[in-house]
Structure 1
């Protein structure tokens, strides 16, 4: 019984073909593109205003060379947002609950920020490994600690996203199972569990949006140190 709760995190297959690629390409079809109309419709206008507001907020801490990253960061945020929200629909699969996918997304983006810093300002980038004013006896230990913290960043990005979404999906699975089991015998308790399930679903929608934003926000903070 306990193992069945984790079946939702297994990639579904049809005739031996994994459906994770279809789940990853579906969000692209949901994002509206601009049209050649003189006046866009309301949905396109709301989408454009939201994206512009997010981009401005994200680019405020970065200097002008860092503004080149607005398109990759915005695309990553939309991609994660769509995957997280679509995964809350019944009988669907959430690719962002897989640590392998999150690490495959976090590691190249983190590595790109590091390589940009090493190419444009190598002295400043290496200077982050040793805080200013460090006593001489502590220099080797601090360099090792800062190096470990630097290489642990992509792991933190991937694990944070995976853990938050996995925990939420498990809670929804547990409470929904309890609701169906208690409904024939304990109607009052099942009704209370159903209310909690609805509230938890709303919370998970917020978590799906927040985690996509936090993922991109942390990438922008890593980029800020290297541009």
Structure 2
């Protein structure tokens, strides 16, 4: 019974073929494309307003050099947001519950920010490893601690996204299983549990949106330190 709770995090297959590629492709279709029409529909303008506001929020503290990343990080934000929300529908799969995928997104982008900092401003980038005014005896220890904290950033990015989504999905499945078990035995308790499940689902929708935003926001902060 306990193992069946984790079956939802396995990639579903159809005729022996994993459907994770399909679940990764569909969210990109939701991102609006530019058209030659003078006026678009309401959904198109709503998406454009959301993307404009999001890009302004993320890149307003950055230097003009960091604005080159706007298209990449905005697309990543929309992709993570779409994947997280689509994973809440029945009979779907959430690719962002896989640590391998989240690390595959976090590690190259984090490494790119570090390499940009080493190329453009090596002194300032290496200066983050040692705060100014550090006593001589503490210099080796602080350099080691700051280096570990630097290399743990992509791991923290991937684990944070994976852990939050996995915990929410597991909790929803546990409570929904309790509702089906209690329904014939204690209908009143089952109804109250179903109301809690509804509130938890709304909370999970908020978590899916917030975690996508936090993932991209932290990447923009890492970029800000290196441009």
Normalised TM-score (structure 1): 0.98
State the superposition RMSD in angstroms: 0.7
Partner of 1:69: 69
**Which aligned runs of 4 or more in structure 1 are off by greater than 6 angstroms?**
none
Where does 1:19-58 land on structure 2 (aligned, <5 Å)?
19-58=19-58
Partner of 1:132: 132
SS in 1 for 2:89: coil
Give how far 1:31 is off.
Answer: 2.0
Deviations 1:26-62 (A, max 9, x none): 1011222232111222111111111111101101111
Partner of 1:198: 198
Normalised TM-score (structure 2): 0.98
Instruction: Please state if 1:144 is matched with 2:144.
Output: yes
Give how far 1:10 is off.
Answer: 0.7
Unaligned runs of 5+ residues in structure 1 are none
Give the count of matched residue pairs: 227
- Once the two structures are overlaid, the 10-residue window that deviates more, 66-75 or 11-20, is 11-20
SS in 2 for 1:73: helix
Give how far 1:15 is off.
Answer: 2.0
Give how far 1:16 is off.
Answer: 1.8
Unaligned runs of 5+ residues in structure 2 are none
Give how far 1:98 is off.
Answer: 0.5
SS in 2 for 1:102: helix
